[in-house]
Amino acid sequence: MMGVRVAEDKCIGCKICIYACPEPNVIKLTDSKKVTIECIKCKSCLLCVSACPKKALTKDEA
């Protein structure tokens, strides 16, 4: 499956990835100020991965 994995320990909740994703309602901020990604709607463009300043996102190869 396509998708992106979030390393929660690295994510600072800055939302830059959310402003970078061309797909609506895919990356969400949780109550604990980390992001979650609904991979079933993700097109694996990897714009969020390139945009994240903390390298908290990686392509999910699984």
Partner 1 sequence: MSNRIITPVKEFEDLLPQEYKDLVADGPFFAEKGVDDLGTFKEIMEQHPHCAGCGEALGMRLVLAGLPTPQDTLIIGTPGCSFFGLAQTALNYSNTAFGNQNAVASGLKRMLQIRYPDKHKDVVVMVGDGGIADIGLDYTLHSWFRKEKITTIMLDNEVYGNTGGQESGMSKEGKVLNMAPTGKKFPKIPVFELAKTSGCCYVAKVTIASPKKIGKVIRRAILIAREIGPTYVQLFTPCPTNLKFAPDQTLKVAKEAEKDYYPFEEFISDDAAAYLAKVEQAKGDGKS
Site residues (vs partner 1, CB under 8 A)? 15, 18-25, 27-29, 35, 41, 43-47, 49-51
Return the number of the residue (24 or 55) whose C-beta is nearest partner 1.
24
For residue 26, give the nearest of 8, 48, 51 by alpha carbon. 48
Check binding of 60 to ligand SF4 (CB under 6 A).
Answer: no
Residue ranges that bind ligand SF4, judged by CB under 6 A: 4, 6, 11-17, 20-21, 23, 26-27, 35, 37, 42-48, 52, 54, 56-57
